[in-house]
Amino acid sequence: MFITNDIKYLGVNDYDIDLFEGQYDVPNGMAYNSYVVCDEKTAVFDTVDASFTDIWLKNLEEALSGKSPDYLIVQHMEPDHSAGIHIFMDKYPDAMIVATAQAFRMMKQFFGEEFEDRRVIAAEKSTLSLGRHTLTFVTAPMVHWPEVMVTYDDADKVLFSADAFGKFGALDTDEDWSCEARRYYIGIVGKYGMQVQALLKKAADLDIQKICPLHGPILTENLGYYLNLYDIWSSYGVESEGVMIAYTSVYGHTKEAAELLAKILEEKNCPKVVLTDLAREDMAEAVEDAFRYGKLVLATTTYNMDIFPFMRQFIDHLTERNFQNRTVGIIENGSWAPAAARTIKKMLENSQNITYTETAVTIKSAMTAENKAELEKMAGELL
């Protein structure tokens, strides 16, 4: 597949994978992207997952049409992109490998060698001429590993973006980009918003007409849309107006309160209400929604003088991804010693710019008329 006259796609689709990184459900598979720039000299961008190395090498041979590659550009050392490095270097003994100094140290860890006699160490804004194409390397530490770099091709105005702008799903999947890109970003890169912001500032100085990520489709139109979403996500801003209600319930009383609050909000014309049962719905989807909307209600039971395990897991996911800049309401339930609200606030105490609703709801076993009135009041504060 041609991306430009000189740039070809070499990647593969993985339809067999069930969990990406051992935890993210990927019902539509996964794409491992790789590219080659054919000029006076030829540069290959990244390899693919070990399961597909043979297919990738065949794709590369077809793209090269008998030529040998001059360079392998390694932007990210995660094994789904780097597993083929050693095989590539054995197959093409005259090729040089280009990567950051830290990436070479990781190669030693993965492969037992750093390719000292065949390496080019890329530094911030260092360049590599292929002929018509000049590649500029831009370091992107902690987006989302410390050795990461991205590469800008000045001839075709292409940004090879490593894992940035990636998404779940094989390339032939017909689905909205933002949904699975958001879940991918929040789950995998979300902790590193400050580092993504730094990369976006570097990218702002470049004339980018195409973005070639290591997962997901090549982005070629309306790039401002994708850049704006990345700016919102990485600055922990509010993407969509609305309220997410995340609940856990043992015997149905907390669920009843959560559902009533959702109904009240809908009757008050809340732009969007998302109701999520944390015990039954995909945790990554729930985490994604918590970051998407500006207001979050946590409804849970006291459990072993703590909170219900799925709620604790959910909040742990939020805090380890730097959850911030949100309004939070709390509904707690406890038949004799309610402790959920206190526990939740303790878990969120290091989260920045969290504003709690003035109204908090404490249910003792089952809802009362007073609780229903409190839910009405909370709904007004959330709008």
Digitized pLDDT (tens) for each residue of the chain, 383 residues in all: 899 999 999 999 999 999 999 999 999 999 999 999 999 999 999 999 999 999 999 999 999 998 999 999 999 999 999 999 999 999 999 999 999 999 999 999 999 999 999 999 999 999 999 999 999 999 999 999 999 999 999 999 999 999 999 999 999 988 999 999 999 999 999 999 999 999 999 999 999 999 999 999 999 999 999 999 999 999 999 999 999 999 999 999 999 999 999 999 999 999 999 999 999 999 999 999 999 999 999 999 998 888 999 999 999 999 999 999 999 999 999 999 899 999 999 999 999 999 999 999 999 999 999 999 999 999 999 99
The amino acid present at 268, given as its one-letter code, is K
Check residue 145 and give its pLDDT.
96
Residues 267 and 219 in one domain: no
Distances (CA, A) of 81 to 75, 77, 164, 218, 330: 9, 6, 13, 16, 42
State the CATH number of the domain containing residue 30: 3.60.15.10
Residues 368 and 346 in one domain: yes
Number of domains in the chain: 2
CA 356 to chain centre: 27
Residues 212 and 254 in one domain: no
Tell me the angle at which helices 369-382 and 253-267 cross, rounded to the nearest 10 degrees: 50
Distances (CA, A) of 108 to 33, 92, 353: 23, 19, 42
Cβ neighbourhood burial of 136 (10 Å; 0-12, 13-18, 19+):
middle
Reported pTM: 0.94
Residues 279 and 307 in one domain: yes
What is 69-89 written as a DSSP string?
-SEEE----SHHHHTTHHHHH
Residues 139 and 111 in one domain: yes
Task: Give the position of tokens 């370091």.
Answer: 139
Identify the DSSP state of 49: -
Residues 230 and 244 in one domain: no
Domain that holds residue 102: 7-234
- For residue 23, give both structure tokens: 């935890």
Of 94, 103, 116, 102, nearest in space to 47 by CA: 103
For the chain, give the number of residues: 383
Check residue 1 and give its pLDDT.
85
Tell me the angle at which helices 193-203 and 223-234 cross, rounded to the nearest 10 degrees: 150
- For residue 165, give both structure tokens: 């702008």
Domain end point (choices 188, 216, 234)? 234
CB 317 within 8 A of CB 287: yes
